[in-house]
Structure 1
Amino acid sequence: MCGFTGFIGETKNSSAVLETMMNQIIHRGPDSSGMFTENKAALGFRRLSIIDLESGSQPLYNEDESFVLIFNGEIYNFMQLREELIANGHLFVTHTDSEVLIHGYEEFGEKLVEKIRGMFAFVIWDRKNEKMFAARDMFGIKPFYYAQMNGTLLFGSEIKSFLPHPHFNKELNEKALKPYLTFQYPVLNETFFKGVFKLPAAHFMTYKNGQINIQRYWSPKFNPTKQPLEEIVDEIDQVVRESVEFHRISDVKVGSFLSSGVDSSYVASVLKPNKTFTVGFSDKNFSEIDNAKALSDELGIENVNEILSPDLCFDKLEDIQYMMDEPHSNPSIVPLYFLAELAKRDVTVVLSGEGADELFGGYAEYDTTNTMKKYKKLPTLIRKSLGVIAKRLPEVRGKNFLIKGGLSAEEWFIGQAKIFEEKEAQGILTNGYNNAPTVKEIVKPYYDQVKREDDVTKMQHLDLHLWLVDDILLKADKMSMAHSIELRVPFLDREVMKTAAKVPVKYRVNDLDTKFAFRLAAGRALPKESANRKKIGFPVPIRHWIREEKYYMKIKSHFESPQAAQFFDQQEIMTLLNSHYEGKKNNARKIWTIFMFLIWYKKYFN
């Protein structure tokens, strides 16, 4: 686990510029650094040592040094690939997983990405042909950003590494704000920095003679089989255990994040590390510590835990938003930041449970209750009419039921968060920030790929492309790397996905539970109570905090600032804040989303 940055283009004092860029991401790799500069090319690397601690520094080269590699991630099938490449005549000089990438590219070219089992973002520079090849893993576990500015291509693990380059233009992307207010995360491919883009998950990029070419190499597809339930459960349990074994490979200490949910519990029970790590808040409704400790005790594992105070959380909000690179308002980022800090005291690698919900159908939004099933027996025309009417209503009881019962997934589901309705977001923004892609324009390309699928599969497909990549995995990467710790996600594995794709919808979501077959598999390793426990989802008591005068005043100072006036109708956002503070409405998520943007903007632009 590391970080990289670099550029292709004529730059004065390129080595000094590259070193400054590398220092921006020293948190990603505090153990060592390395750089390559030649003609127009400059590749920089910061290392967090995990495998082959002595000789695993980068950049790495092939035998004749015609190719140069910088790489962030882990390749879990590197031993098998290494043996195949050695048999084909390639010479290895290290025992790292990284080196299989450079020899693999020599051997397989662009097809290399289809052979890798792991999480990765990497760059290979072809010195003879002056051509760059870059790729990002199939789920988007590791980040990759790029920008083409003033004759230079910039690329790296974090946007902040671009800031010192003399050709970088720092400018706010005014189209990013409105969608963010609805989705709570940076959902567009162009980031909040104008001209800076994300290389999408499961894509590779080539760059030569100033031309960028981007191609997709994999797409998630569900192909349910007619296997008996018991056989499916066997396969899930087998592939999860195998994946955890691959993900434990390390030359440093490995631990596990543990909440009260089935996903992280399953990982911890199979991994059986020496220590698990949990954080929570003093209010028991916002803490998973007791459940995590109980499971750890049962497994004979030490649970290291910490209760977080609101003062501590508010003091770190600026650092958190800085580390995220772009504004992000999922409240769970806050405890995740402190969880990574807690784990770093004891381990360098942690395993976590991200991805199981998207692959196996775990979110409550995927569920269809018995009441909903009865409602859906009404004529479609009646339900659709009521759904259309409900979408226009203010927030009243029963609104969501009528929408979900009357409209297709494409017409109401945008992922696991919806903060502001689109018209509401439009109403609080000043004129310059409403010229942005609509919510429908954002989700439509993904729904178009699964037109003939059932609604559950459609929702999973959308979440795999948007929510998982730009919310769940982005915060997991940025918050863990903020503390120089490697976070691994064994459910987001090529072979686990193959198994998940075979599970019929009725064994993903049914009358009994969400993630039905997966929970049965987890039950092979867990006590029944842990396997069936409902998802809490890293709860954070922001609605209570905002009703305390101290924190209300902090937020108010941002809402009344000149910076806020640039983006928002201050009267409207103060009405949101005051009605929440006075207990009239629960506007916590809306307030938090605005607040996080203002904190981020102040850090990067003021």
Structure 2
Amino acid sequence: MCGITGWIDWEQDLSEQQAVLKEMACTLKERGPDREGYWLSSHAALAHRRLIVIDPVGGKQPMLFTRGEQTYALTYNGEIYNFRELREELRARDHVFRTHSDTEVLLHAYVEWGEDCVDHLNGIFAFAIWDEARQQLFIARDHLGVKPLFYAQVGSTIVFGSEIKALLAHPLIEPILNDEGMKAIFVSIFLSGGGIFRDVQELRPGHCATFTRERTHVRQYWQLVSRPHTDNLETTTEYIRSLLSDTVSRQLIADVPVVTLLSGGLDSSGVTSLAAREFQRENQVLNTYAINYVNSEEHFEGNAFRPSIDRPYAEQVARDLPTNHHNIMVSTEELIGNLLVPMRAHDRPTMGQMETSLYLLFKAIKQNATVALSGESADEIFGGYPWFHQEHALNTPTFPWIAARMNPGSNTPLMQMGLPFVSPALAHELHPHEHMQQLYQEALAEVPRLEGESSRDTRIREIFYLNMTRFLRLLLDRKDRMSMATGLEVRVPFCDHRLVQYVWNIPWEMKAIDHIEKGILRRAFRGLLPEEVRMRRKSAYPISFDPAYTQAVRRWTLEILNTANAPVNTFVNRAFLRQLAEHPDEQKRGENAYFLFDYLIQTNAWLQEYHVVTS
């Protein structure tokens, strides 16, 4: 994994602009702590920050390929998991390779197939290729959006980067928050995506773009295809298991230490089991990692989202396989002390404690490893969340994860789809209900329909699409930013697009076989896990139940509300937030409340540190 950035201008000579390019690249040093590289020509300037994972000597970037009068320059972030097969295919087409890196394979794939190279890739990637002869820039992002990529166009200038901060380091890009950016920060906070600032755009997952002096062309190169599922239950189960086995095996390839995340849930335990067996074939023991919180278990209160504690299940899997298991304990002091790290990594306010804790986990892992495998995205692909099974969430015309947190018929502001923490004036200006409905309808319009489906199956398909294209992006962004903030690469086997496409068309009755969420996946993992773990009910990512955390963020929130010139106070409902912080009643207490505190704290710091200007 790495950080990439660059600058194209068809009307300006960029060959002497390394100072600006270096400033852009330096913002990404956490993503690529091992090496930096630059390449400049008359109208193109590319930079790369490298995290060494494969071929330490041969994978230097930007990487160049010259054939006659043609020169191609590549800067790339990610891993191509089928690079070995592609290298052999390209060798058969007379390509000669000088390194063992997937970077060189990607560059030659573009030389051979042009923009269609993306159709040959299996992996997680964001890359940019400059064609010097044609004076053309090509950028692309992986199928599910595991790796980020942002760009901005201002006149004849195009700048791009792995993170928005790289674009902001360019003198033409300013932190101006327009109407759409305001809505992203204060309305659609449970939806990831978008550039936030004026002129900045995010390249969507499964998309690529070509830029020339004359035109810009953005296209979708991959999308889900709906078709009847004809495999029977046994064949489906076996195929899922074989696909996952192949995917995990590919994703273990690295020239640095590889570990897995092990929460004790079905998804991470399944990935860990497959990985541990690969390690055992090499007479090695897999290292696994889990997060827990100081002073938390004694205050744990189970609910629909977190019915049980992770630790006993993770330890059971570690004993059974076995693995060398590491239980990382995180304190409230560490969570509070690092609360602003996610904001700086995302260049925007985020999910607070759920991201801070992940950062601390990855920071601990990085001391001993550079690559980790995660169970992320299985719930979106197989239907593991409670809202897949709640009639209210299924039938409410909004995003199901929002509907699941609403109390039907309640007038309690915190549980409504509106935003009580936003000032009435701003809410009136932003029209939150209308904006969320617009986003919701736009998403529904994209759903690949299957003719002849029942209304129930049609709705289930919609719910899956919303989760896979909207909610999953939120989690993948979290995983990318928090891992790369520590220089750790996290791979996600359940995001293999072959698996995602296959599971997409499995009927709901088969996905939820045995009357339990992700029933088909549980069958695929039969014999690989202890039965108590294989049949364990879904429990969401763990949070701290230490009362000291809520008390700390309440105090921090009140400090901000009591500071007259705190920038966030212009935008929020101070009376509502003060009431919540000073007198949290039973209904408003807990995760919903401290999420608001976390978000307010990060938003205030973001407005200050990024010198945000509202248009």
Provide TM-score, normalisation by structure 2.
Answer: 0.87
Residue 464 of structure 1, CA deviation? 1.2
Partner SS, residue 50 of structure 1: coil
Please give the alpha-carbon distance, in whole angstroms, between the structure 1 residues aligned to 2:20 and 2:606. 25
What does residue 184 of structure 1 align with? 189
What does residue 208 of structure 1 align with? 212
Residue 262 of structure 1, CA deviation? 0.5
What does residue 484 of structure 2 align with? 481
Of 315, 319, 323, which residue of structure 2 is paired with 1:297? 319
What does residue 515 of structure 1 align with? 518
Per-residue Cα deviation, 1:84-121 (whole angstroms, up to 9, x for no partner): 11111112121101112221112111111111000000
Residue 162 of structure 1, CA deviation? 1.9
Distance change >3 Å, CA 420–CA 199, structure 1 → 2 = farther
Residue 236 of structure 1, CA deviation? 0.9
What does residue 597 of structure 1 align with? 603
Of 332, 342, 347, which residue of structure 1 is paired with 2:364? 342
Please give the alpha-carbon distance, in whole angstroms, between the structure 1 residues aligned to 2:193 and 2:335. 28
Letter in 1 for 2:84: M
What does residue 472 of structure 1 align with? 475
Letter in 2 for 1:458: E
Mapping of residues 119-198 of structure 1, within 5 Å: 119-149=124-154, 151-185=156-190, 187=192, 189=194, 191-198=195-202
What does residue 462 of structure 1 align with? 466
Per-residue Cα deviation, 1:113-172 (whole angstroms, up to 9, x for no partner): 111000000000010111000000010000000111354211010111122222222212
Residue 417 of structure 1, CA deviation? 6.9
Letter in 2 for 1:554: W
Q: Is the 8 A contact 2:339 2:353 kept in 1?
A: no
Partner SS, residue 93 of structure 1: coil
What does residue 442 of structure 1 align with? 439
Mapping of residues 11-26 of structure 1, within 5 Å: 13-26=16-29
1:104 paired with 2:82, answer no
Distance change >3 Å, CA 429–CA 31, structure 1 → 2 = farther
Of 386, 395, 402, which residue of structure 2 is paired with 1:364? 386
Distance change >3 Å, CA 75–CA 411, structure 1 → 2 = closer
Please give the alpha-carbon distance, in whole angstroms, between the structure 2 residues aligned to 1:67 and 1:551. 51
1:310 paired with 2:335, answer no
Distance change >3 Å, CA 354–CA 293, structure 1 → 2 = same
Of 338, 351, 374, which residue of structure 2 is paired with 1:329? 351
What does residue 4 of structure 1 align with? 4
Q: Is the 8 A contact 1:426 1:434 kept in 2?
A: no
Per-residue Cα deviation, 1:322-355 (whole angstroms, up to 9, x for no partner): 0122221264212110111111011110000111
Please give the alpha-carbon distance, in whole angstroms, between the structure 1 residues aligned to 2:186 and 2:24. 31
Letter in 2 for 1:445: E
Letter in 2 for 1:41: A
Please give the alpha-carbon distance, in whole angstroms, between the structure 2 residues aligned to 1:112 and 1:547. 49
Partner SS, residue 347 of structure 1: coil
Partner SS, residue 98 of structure 1: helix
Percent of aligned pairs with the same amino acid:
29
Mapping of residues 558-577 of structure 1, within 5 Å: 558-561=560-563, 562=565, 563-577=567-581
Residue 22 of structure 1, CA deviation? 0.9
Residue 517 of structure 1, CA deviation? 0.3
Per-residue Cα deviation, 1:536-561 (whole angstroms, up to 9, x for no partner): 2222237834652x432112112333
Partner SS, residue 290 of structure 1: helix
Please give the alpha-carbon distance, in whole angstroms, between the structure 1 residues aligned to 2:77 and 2:357. 24
Letter in 2 for 1:279: I
Q: Is the 8 A contact 1:428 1:573 kept in 2?
A: no
Please give the alpha-carbon distance, in whole angstroms, between the structure 2 residues aligned to 1:256 and 1:412. 30
Of 73, 76, 101, which residue of structure 2 is paired with 1:71? 76
Partner SS, residue 495 of structure 2: coil
Residue 460 of structure 1, CA deviation? 1.0
What does residue 279 of structure 1 align with? 291
What does residue 424 of structure 1 align with? 419
Residue 211 of structure 1, CA deviation? 3.2
Please give the alpha-carbon distance, in whole angstroms, between the structure 2 residues aligned to 1:366 and 1:545. 33
Letter in 2 for 1:499: Y
Residue 565 of structure 1, CA deviation? 2.1
Distance change >3 Å, CA 512–CA 330, structure 1 → 2 = farther
Residue 595 of structure 1, CA deviation? 3.0
1:243 paired with 2:238, answer no
Partner SS, residue 251 of structure 1: coil
What does residue 582 of structure 2 align with? 578
1:232 paired with 2:236, answer yes
Per-residue Cα deviation, 1:412-442 (whole angstroms, up to 9, x for no partner): 6658777764433586354386267610111
What does residue 377 of structure 1 align with? none
Distance change >3 Å, CA 17–CA 465, structure 1 → 2 = same
Q: Is the 8 A contact 1:5 1:155 kept in 2?
A: yes
Q: Is the 8 A contact 1:124 1:133 kept in 2?
A: yes
Distance change >3 Å, CA 15–CA 268, structure 1 → 2 = same
Distance change >3 Å, CA 576–CA 195, structure 1 → 2 = farther
> Which structure 2 residue ranges, 5 or more long, are not aligned?
277-284, 301-305, 407-413, 451-456
Residue 243 of structure 1, CA deviation? 0.5
Please give the alpha-carbon distance, in whole angstroms, between the structure 2 residues aligned to 1:412 and 1:30. 39
Letter in 2 for 1:171: I
Q: Is the 8 A contact 1:321 1:596 kept in 2?
A: yes
Distance change >3 Å, CA 413–CA 447, structure 1 → 2 = farther
Distance change >3 Å, CA 320–CA 139, structure 1 → 2 = same
Partner SS, residue 197 of structure 1: strand
Cα root mean square deviation, aligned? 2.5
What does residue 281 of structure 2 align with? none
Per-residue Cα deviation, 1:180-236 (whole angstroms, up to 9, x for no partner): 4454345353x2222211100000011111632210011123434243212211111
Please give the alpha-carbon distance, in whole angstroms, between the structure 1 residues aligned to 2:606 and 2:597. 14
What does residue 280 of structure 2 align with? none
Distance change >3 Å, CA 186–CA 605, structure 1 → 2 = farther
Please give the alpha-carbon distance, in whole angstroms, between the structure 1 residues aligned to 2:52 and 2:192. 32
> Which structure 1 residue ranges, 5 or more long, are not aligned?
373-400
1:265 paired with 2:269, answer yes
Q: Is the 8 A contact 2:362 2:482 kept in 1?
A: yes
Please give the alpha-carbon distance, in whole angstroms, between the structure 1 residues aligned to 2:415 and 2:130. 43
Distance change >3 Å, CA 415–CA 162, structure 1 → 2 = farther
Residue 569 of structure 1, CA deviation? 2.6
Letter in 1 for 2:161: G
Please give the alpha-carbon distance, in whole angstroms, between the structure 1 residues aligned to 2:420 and 2:214. 38
Of 38, 41, 54, which residue of structure 2 is paired with 1:38? 41
Distance change >3 Å, CA 35–CA 339, structure 1 → 2 = same
